[in-house]
Structure 1
Amino acid sequence: MSAARTLRQLASASSRISSRQLSLARLPLIARSVSRVPTASRAFSVSARSLKAGSSDVMLAEKLGEELKYENETNLEEEPEFLTAFKSQGIWKITDKAGENEVILTRQFGNESIRVVFSVADLQNQDPNEYEDLEEDEERSEEEQEDSEPNDIVRALVSITKSAPNGALEIDMTVQQGQFIVENVTYFADSKIGQDLSPENDWKRRGLYAGPEFSTLDVAVQEQFEQFLAERDLGEGTAFFIPEYARFKEQREYVRWLENVKGFVDA
């Protein structure tokens, strides 16, 4: 989720809370006033229930339309420069299905098939304390906010598979600030278990030894393994690309969500 959108949402939420507190403070007075009014006819409620749609539909569709217009106006770029540059390298193939959270990168390296899976859902699970000082952020200029470096953390699951009987490696990592941070490396004797994403093989993987925590390995082993990954283009360039693409996809999915929900309310 973009920082700008998060800040707008926090500001809007703050405004709603203030209005609600004011309304609650005046509640006793309103209640006393209402108690003096004769009981109203139920004609309105009966009429509202007889309508095809609820009375709030028009306002909801209008607000969704306003948000959709804003997002389309502020995100005009069809394919951002970073994505064009990444594709031009011709190293990774990107599989990105509309409406799904996960993105898959695949490539061949010698006799190895390499797959990287990451999800845009990680962006929605970031620590809300990142925007804890809303007033200070609002005082910053838009240019300063655009220039600030995002600190998104995205999980990535890497599988490196060789033809039988060589097996496969599954590497659990996080991606942050241009770095792959390895958590553990699992070896599968059966390459199908490491490659097949079916529930059956996922269950088999859970029952196998996952390997030691990567940070407990000898430092020399850690460093050499990082070189092993970098040679397969799992280094700084791809580590910067993954969170950036996750933000790009999340934005597209958000716009698609607005269109779909507005279309449903309007129908």
Structure 2
Amino acid sequence: MARQACRSLLSRIQTRISSPPQTRSLITGMRRSALKETLLRALRSEISYESSHLPTSPLETHFNSFTIDPREGEQWVSLTRSDDREEIKIDATLFDGSAPETRSGDVSDGSNQRLHITLAVEVSKKDSDSEPESESGGIIMQFLCSAWPDAMDVDRVYAGPRGIYAIKPYMGPEFKDLDEEVQKAVQDYLEQRGVNDELAAFLHKYAANKDRTEHVRWLQNIESYMKK
């Protein structure tokens, strides 16, 4: 009798042991579904809010004589300009830093910040079909610049052979350490090619709009993945 009771108890225990995994699987699935819906609701709410703050018009495709490639999904924007003699290529970051805003003679408390954008500017001469390639034709000029909200600063100047990229090229001294006449000549050179304070101000406006646009696209990509 006792043996039969033990068998009955073991049978009930085995039944209980065999059923929980299915129950747990169902509960886990329900929890996952609930979490997924919660995340999707949060994403849709954020997308709706951020979309309401997007610029009313699409990102510009031209600025002065530059053609703009927005490079969707990237933290860069490219600008190109070309004429019969030269080609200018610019790669600009979105906001990649900041510095305290100060007035002349004042010490900043750090509360106001000036956002910073880095520019890599490349100027190359076009080859002429009617003339043999000159020595300068095989050289490209590169400039590393800083775009502030109201100013374009030059940080470095580099001249190197076209199509050859050294692992660690000699970049010369910092721009601020060059002779003042050389600095002025370089600034005038870039000014004539549209790399100036006006471009810096435009890029800050453009970067702010692109950053909002990319943020919404990023949210939408996550939503698209989560819906699958």
Q: By the TM > 0.5 criterion, same fold?
A: yes
Kindly report which structure 2 residues correspond to 1:156-175, keeping only aligned pairs within 5 A, or say none.
156-162=119-125, 163=127, 164=133, 165-166=135-136, 167-175=139-147
For 1:97 and 1:48, how far apart are their aligned partners in 2? Answer: 44
Query: 1:113 maps to which residue?
Result: 87
For 2:88 and 2:181, how far apart are their aligned partners in 1? Answer: 24
The one-letter amino acid paired with 1:257 is W
Query: 2:69 maps to which residue?
Result: 95
Is residue 71 from structure 1 mapped to residue 50 from structure 2 by the alignment? yes
Shift of 1:129: 8.9
- Residue 160 of structure 1 contacts residue 169 of structure 1 at CA under 8 Å; is this kept in 2? yes
The one-letter amino acid paired with 1:67 is E
Structure with bigger gyration radius:
2
> TM-score with structure 2 length normalisation?
0.73
For 2:23 and 2:113, how far apart are their aligned partners in 1? Answer: 51
What's the Cα RMSD here?
A: 2.9
Higher fraction of helix: 1
1:52 to 1:264, Cα distance in 2 relative to 1, 3 A: farther
In structure 1, stretches of 5+ residues that fail to align are: 1-40, 131-148, 194-200
Query: 2:114 maps to which residue?
Result: 151
Query: 1:178 maps to which residue?
Result: 150
User: Secondary structure of 2:141's match?
Assistant: strand
Shift of 1:101: 1.9
Is residue 214 from structure 1 mapped to residue 170 from structure 2 by the alignment? no
1:72 to 1:155, Cα distance in 2 relative to 1, 3 A: same
In structure 2, stretches of 5+ residues that fail to align are: 1-19, 102-111, 128-132
Kindly report which structure 2 residues correspond to 1:186-265, keeping only aligned pairs within 5 A, or say none.
186-188=158-160, 190-193=161-164, 201=165, 204=166, 206-265=167-226
> TM-score with structure 1 length normalisation?
0.63
1:219 to 1:182, Cα distance in 2 relative to 1, 3 A: same
- Identity %, equivalent residues: 23
Q: Deviations over 1:106-148 (max 9, x none)?
A: 002451111110122xx2x445999xxxxxxxxxxxxxxxxxx
1:118 to 1:211, Cα distance in 2 relative to 1, 3 A: same
